Structure 1
């Protein structure tokens, strides 16, 4: 009986690991077809120090162009120029981390064209920039007449990739069916042991 419980526990653990490793997490995607060709911009409310996030992009023929995003202090975007003006090493490192993160999001948008499919920067210091990135994107898309829709996009902490809906659902269905089969096999083995 102890052996059956151990096997069952092991099977459940393996199923949990398989599901977590496949990244079966359904994220959103953006439908820009309702958005007019125009320039879109938004910003977060400045904090007590006058620091906020801003996003700008152009929609041309249903695609995003000229995308910019970043952290600003007043009218000045955090940049390498800030680093030269600061003497404290820890502040320099924090500014460099900010510049690297905003560059990552801008680069990803140039290749993906949809902020909902961009994973959080793996070296992010905190969630504030990624949260602002996603919030401003969704705000501008919905204001412009576009839609944020659920789909089978898989997002991990270091990369983002888009699989067909059937691929992601197929993995989940496979794991559920395999789990049910294993539980059934354990149940049959129990019956054999008690018979």
Structure 2
């Protein structure tokens, strides 16, 4: 059999006349599996068949080679290993205790800033959302805060308390407005 490279006398013999292997032959599967395991089971089909593949060595030529590498990679045990399962942390005791009233334990956080339009003059002003989250029912009432200072937070908190009742515990991050509000 004469190929296109058979007349290139500068190439070695094994490159000019490679061994032609059928796609579903046992020897073909063994050779592809060898290159797959040499690559630590991480190469895909295209990598095996291009850079380090059977055909780039010049020793072998696989007919319709894409299907043969795909078969080896898909049946590889290391590629089909399941990932680890996610383990959730236990809830803190404050969240696990049952309360008879909603919003008895509350977490508070700010969101924003949002540009709002007021009146017909369409004046744009910055406003913030003060989110209160009930730790037992996960209900989230929203209050508008007109700034990030302590007095504005206390106004939003007083509006929340007048609608929902005074909470037993309030949790927040260490924002300066929250810390100074807890002191007053």
TM range (shorter): under 0.3
TM-score of the pair, normalised by structure 2: 0.21
TM-score of the pair, normalised by structure 1: 0.20
